[in-house]
Amino acid sequence: MSDAFSIPPDIVCLADYERHARGRLSEGAWAYVAGGAADETTLRRNREAFDAILLKGRVLGDLGGGNTRLVLFGETYEHPIMLAPVAHHGLACPAAEIATAVGAVGARAGFVISTEADTAIEEIAAAATGGNFWFQLYIQHDRDFTHALVERATRAGAKAIVLTADAPVSGVRDRERRAGVTPAILRAPVNLRDARPGPVPRAGLGESLIFNGFIDSAARWEDFARLRAATRLPLLIKGIMAPEDADRAIGEGADGIVVSNHGGRVLDTLPATMEALPVIASAVAGRVPVLVDGGIRRGTDVLKALACGASAVMIGRPYIHALAVAGPAGVAHAVQMLRGEFEVAMALTGCRTLRDVSPRVLWEATRSGQAGSSREA
């Protein structure tokens, strides 16, 4: 990894940042950033699902006064592209999440701080002055500490809490193990330093590695209910891949849903998020905003996600690639490129604002089962 950041002149799309980032990161860091679970079937499928959806071009529409603005939970955003929570930005850039926050503000992008950030919440919030940030939460075995963490994020100015619910255990990450990724190459999450040590499973030969006490402290629906009662901030659940869970989440008081398979990093052979999104959006039926992540690399992907029921999208790996290559300027540039492509796609499918984006922009052969979505909450 180089400390000298500048935007290479041959970067014209997100894939170019990925190519450059590969040469900037160590083998272990690259495996952590780029890898998925097991055979990485879901990781590949996330990308392939977008390519399988076709758009319908439209001509001679009145696009005057167009924009990409939306309102989420009472806050106005200039565009529907957010930075997903990603741990350990220090692998990509010495300034870690500080650099990401500066880039997010520059791109006018919402930014979700990870529980496992390499930088304190308060420091990141200070760098994000002028922008909107949310806080992603992993419920810890120490529930009192978990609630204190939410209070810290609230005091720092977080506009929402995003509970990641799909990783009670880590995925089987073969690529990381082959590259020798161990906790030693990752900084200890600074925001968890005061938490009490968790249970350490010590399974003997022939005993379960997962169910021998470790899973007993995993988050449950009752923990979500306590969290809902403890915060007045909008509360989203991230990691929803089943309409039944989406329906229950709303019934339990969730203000939003993030359709996510954790970037293919937890359970392999899950469907792509774009395969699950229309089904989940249909079940939600506009009751709360639905966001989606996983595999987004082009502005056309953003348009397809919104046409299939999302209110906004989150990107993860692409902005980490840009962070590794060009620091905060890279993050801002990556988002701006994606936004520009999205605006082009809107114009060429006859969409003046986000309210015009619906299943009608999809070619008929790929419209089956797609659902629209409310853009406001």
- Structure confidence by residue, pLDDT tens digits, 223-249: 999 999 999 999 999 999 999 999 999
Q: What's residue 2's pLDDT?
A: 43
Tokens of 305: 């996600």
Was 9 annotated as part of a binding site? no
Was 85 annotated as part of a binding site? yes
301/48 Cα distance (integer angstroms): 11
Was 297 annotated as part of a binding site? yes
Was 32 annotated as part of a binding site? yes
Question: How far, in whole angstroms, is CA 278 from its chain's centroid?
Answer: 18
Domain locations in the chain as residue ranges: 14-366
Closest among 314, 376, 328 to 114, alpha carbons compared: 314
pLDDT(264) > 80: yes
Binning pLDDT at 50, 70 and 90, where does residue 208 land?
confident
DSSP string spanning 300-346?
HHHHHHHHTT-SEEEE-HHHHHHHHHHHHHHHHHHHHHHHHHHHHHH
- pLDDT tens profile 15-66: 999 999 999 999 999 999 999 999 999 999 999 999 999 999 999 999 999 9
Q: What percent of the chain has pLDDT above 90?
A: 83
Was 173 annotated as part of a binding site? yes
CB contact burial 205-231 (16+ within 10 A = b; e otherwise): eeeeeeeeebeeeebeeeebeebbebb
Closest among 172, 168, 190 to 181, alpha carbons compared: 172
- 333 in catalytic set: no
Q: What's residue 369's pLDDT?
A: 52
Was 260 annotated as part of a binding site? yes
Was 253 annotated as part of a binding site? no
Q: Which of 79, 89, 262, 321 is catalytic?
A: 262
Q: What percent of the chain has pLDDT above 70?
A: 92
Architecture of domain 14-366: Alpha-Beta Barrel (3.20)
Q: What's residue 88's pLDDT?
A: 96
> According to DSSP H, which parts of the chain are helical?
14-24, 27-34, 41-51, 96-106, 121-127, 143-156, 174-178, 221-230, 243-251, 273-284, 299-307, 317-348
Was 353 annotated as part of a binding site? no
Tokens of 108: 């006018």
Was 373 annotated as part of a binding site? no
- pLDDT tens profile 298-346: 999 999 999 999 999 999 999 999 999 999 999 999 999 999 999 999 9
End-to-end CA distance of the chain: 41
Q: What's residue 366's pLDDT?
A: 67
Look up the pTM and report it: 0.94
Query: Average pLDDT over the chain, rounded to whole?
Result: 93
Was 189 annotated as part of a binding site? no
